[in-house]
Amino acid sequence: MPYLRPLSPHLQIYKPQLTSILSIVHRFTGIALVFGIFALVYWIMSIALGESTFIKAQSYFRSWYSQIFLFGWSFCFFFHLCNGVRHIFWDTGFGLELPHVYRSGWLVLYGSISLTLCTWGYIYLI
Amino acid sequence: MTTKPSEEKQQSALTFIRHLISTKGETKFWLTQRVTAITLIPVGLWLITSIIHLTQSDYNHVKEWMSSPFIKAGLLLCVWISLYHTYLGLKVIYEDYIVYSNIKKIILLLTRMSFLTAGSLTLWAILSLSLSSQS
């Protein structure tokens, strides 16, 4: 290839503000969710491999360090979902004015945090 | 046929710009990313509620849940579409931050291979579950 394509500006170039932070977090949650999918594939495989493998997998997932990962993945899932919906609204031309971008940004942040807390509250308390 | 040096310079600048703004297949890429994203909204919500309900289940209960062909199809669809959506997303990140095209190609190939493996393993798991439940 004769020409090198230009790179995206690196992360430290952006002034920390809600809009840039949420955009960066969207990418990071996406990357984190790759490993979440692999964990899901492992879980599905453990069901196919029989009861003893499944029990081993379940005990892995129930250990405290896995629970931290699962908590993280659940937040990544809800954040990526909510912010993804925000992106789709932008693609159709809605909410592009700066005050709306900030309002939807806070909504995504608080929404994903409360969805994560509700999920774990449901799992542990009910 | 001779061209003036200035014309030649213009020509190469034009090729350079054309290369930068190359839109080959970009519309299709954009659309595929959005279609997979919109599909993943209901599929993902279904998956996470199912997982929440299955956290306290034993093997027989999970296997019984998996015995429905709709659940099996849903799980396979969920994993495959997620992998494809992730692949598209990672491709953009690689394009944004990896300088050398050879390294980019190798990493993209590794990503594709690991995702194909994960997808095939899921297919194998689902198929072996449906075959064992019939016998």
CATH 1.20.1300.10 fits A21-125, yes or no: yes
In chain B, the percentage of residues whose pLDDT exceeds 70 is 90
Which CATH number does the domain housing residue B107 bear? 1.20.1300.10
**Smallest Cα distance from A56 to chain B, Å:** 11
Read out DSSP for B49-107?
Answer: HHHHHHTT--HHHHHHHHTSHHHHHHHHHHHHHHHHHHHHHHHHHHHHH---HHHHHHH
Å between B9 CA and nearest CA of chain A: 15
Average pLDDT for B46-71:
93
Determine whether the interchain pair B38/A119 forms a contact, defined as Cβ–Cβ distance below 8 Å. Answer: no
| Count of structural domains, chain B | 1
Between A69 and B1, whose confidence is greater? A69
Is residue B112 pLDDT above 90, yes or no? Answer: yes
Average pLDDT over residues B58-82: 94
Output the pLDDT for position B132: 81
Residues B46, B38: contact at Cβ < 8 Å?
A: no
Using alpha carbons only, give the angle B9, B26, A7 rounded to the nearest 5 degrees: 60
Tokens read off for A46: 């453990």
pLDDT one-digit tens code per residue, B8-22? 777 777 777 776 666
Interface touch A88/B37, C-beta < 8 Å: yes
Cβ–Cβ of B122/A45 closer than 8 Å?
A: yes
A40 contacts on B by Cβ (under 8 Å): 47, 79
Nearest CA in chain B to A26: B89
Q: Which two tokens stand for residue B89?
A: 């997303």
Residue B2 has pLDDT above 90, yes or no: no
Contact B121 A41 (CB under 8 A): yes
Instruction: Give residue B6's pLDDT.
Output: 73
Distance CA B69, CA B77 (A): 12
What ipTM was assigned to the predicted interfaces of this complex?
Answer: 0.90
Contact A91 B83 (CB under 8 A): no
B1 touches chain A (CB under 8 A): no
What is the pLDDT at residue A1?
Answer: 47
**B123 in reach of chain A (CB within 8 A):** no
Domain with B105 in it: 5-134
Nearest to A27 among B19, B45, B93 (CB): B93
pLDDT digits (tens, 9 = 90+) for A50-98: 999 999 999 999 999 999 999 999 999 999 999 999 999 999 999 999 9
Q: How far is CA B64 from the centre of its chain?
A: 29
User: Taking every pair of C-alpha atoms in chain A, what is the biggest distance, in angstroms?
Assistant: 61
